[in-house]
Amino acid sequence: MGSEFDYTQAERWDRDITAGQYQKFYIETPIEEVEFTIGAMATRTVTVGVQVVDPAGDAIAEQFTLQLFLCSDDAGTTPAYGNVTVAEGADGNILVNGLATDTAIVVVTDDEGKVELDFTLASGALTRYLGCVLPNGKYQVSTVLTWTA
């Protein structure tokens, strides 16, 4: 008994709470990466936008759950938080804020596939990178986030 898988679709299951059943549906566009938009520091805060995009680099207008983490290297291999706090920006929501315990931040994007976060450092200078684990298991790392003294 064979089965075919259409690699242009990713299967996803969601629980229908009212019916108490699971529903299977497909994400029509494969998730390839995210695009980071790193703002300049303003009043000790660096705003970062994360947009989920398809293989052509176009924004995917669906909600996604992403795991984010701060790291000290541009390869994303050394998680390091450095007393940075995070708050929700204009888009998306924080589901789990793990910065206080040096673990991942779990976010859900808005229905346009975007989340915006405000990272704040109370004092001092610091550089960090934002790592992102995508729903397909890939991860990528932003350019540098910089706080100046």
| Tens digit of each residue's pLDDT (9 = 90 or more) over 32-43 | 799 999 999 999
Q: What is the mean pLDDT of the chain?
A: 82
Instruction: Enter the DSSP assignment of 42.
Output: B
Q: Cα(74)–Cα(118) distance, rounded to whole angstroms?
A: 20
CA 50 to chain centroid, in Å, comes to: 6
Contact 114, 75 (CB under 8 A): no
Global pTM? 0.78
What is the tens place of the pLDDT at every residue in 85-125? 899 999 988 888 887 776 789 999 999 999 999 999 999 99
- Token look-up 């789990």 returns 96
Structural domains for the chain: 30-147 (2.60.40.10)
For 44-55, write each residue's pLDDT tens digit.
999 999 999 988
Q: How far is CA 84 from CA 24, 27, 36, 125, 145, in A?
A: 38, 34, 18, 11, 11
| Other CB atoms within 10 Å distance of the CB of residue 114 | 23
Confidence of residue 3 (pLDDT cuts 50, 70, 90): very low
Q: Using CA of residue 71, residue 138, residue 95, residue 116, what is the dihedral sign?
A: positive
